[in-house]
Amino acid sequence: MVNTKGGNIPKLAMTTFCMAVFAMMFYVANASDPTPLQDFCVGVNDPNSAVVVNGRLCKNPNDVTINDFLYKRFNVPGDTNNAQGANATLVDINLFLGVNTQGVAMARVDFAPYGLNTPHLHPRGSEIFAVVEGTMYAGFVTSGYKLYDTILKKGDVIVFPQGLIHFQLNLGRTEALAYASFGSQNPGRVNVADSVFATTPRILNDVLTKGFQVDEVVIEQLRSQFSPENISFNTGRSILKLLSQTF
Ligand X SMILES: *[C@@H]1O[C@H](CO)[C@@H](O)[C@H](O)[C@H]1NC(C)=O
Nearest distance from C-beta of residue 80 to ligand X, angstroms? 7
Q: In this structure, are residues 83 and 66 in contact, taking their beta carbons and an 8 Å threshold?
A: no
The Cα–Cα gap between 172 and 85 comes to 12
Give the phi and the psi of residue 161 in degrees, each rounded to 5. Answer: -60, 150
| Sole window of 77-85, 160-168, 192-200, 219-227 interacting with ligand X (rule: CB under 6 A) | 77-85
Q: Which of 82, 142, 150, 224 touches ligand X by CB under 6 A?
A: 82
Q: Which is nearer to ligand X, 149 or 229 (CB)?
A: 229
Q: Which of 22, 60, 79, 237 touches ligand X by CB under 6 A?
A: 79
DSSP state of 185: S
Annotated binding site for Mn(2+): 120, 122, 127, 166
| Near ligand X in 187-246, by CB under 6 A | 230, 232
The Cα–Cα gap between 222 and 210 comes to 15
Q: Hey, which residues does 130 pair with through a beta bridge?
A: 157, 179
Q: Which is nearer to ligand X, 56 or 120 (CB)?
A: 120
Nearest distance from C-beta of residue 242 to ligand X, angstroms? 20
Q: Which of 87, 126, 168, 205 touches ligand X by CB under 6 A?
A: 87
Which own/partner contact pairs does 150-157 have at CB distance under 8 Å and 24+ positions apart?
155/130, 155/131, 156/130, 156/131, 157/128, 157/129, 157/130, 157/131
| Sole window of 22-30, 78-86, 163-171, 200-208 interacting with ligand X (rule: CB under 6 A) | 78-86
Beta carbons within 8 Å of 171's beta carbon, 6+ residues apart? 114, 134, 135, 136, 137, 151
Question: Which amino acid is it at 122?
Answer: H
User: How many chain residues are in contact with ligand X, going by CB under 6 A?
Assistant: 6
| Near ligand X in 11-50, by CB under 6 A | none
Task: Establish if 75 lies at the interface with ligand X (CB under 6 A).
Answer: no
Nearest distance from C-beta of residue 230 to ligand X, angstroms? 4
DSSP state of 44: -
Task: Establish if 71 lies at the interface with ligand X (CB under 6 A).
Answer: no
Q: What are the DSSP calls for 82-119, one per residue?
A: STTSEEEEEESTTT-GGGTTT--EEEEEEE-TT-EEEE
Task: Establish if 119 lies at the interface with ligand X (CB under 6 A).
Answer: no
Q: Which is nearer to ligand X, 58 or 86 (CB)?
A: 86
Which residue ranges make up the site for ligand X (CB under 6 A)? 78-79, 82, 87, 230, 232
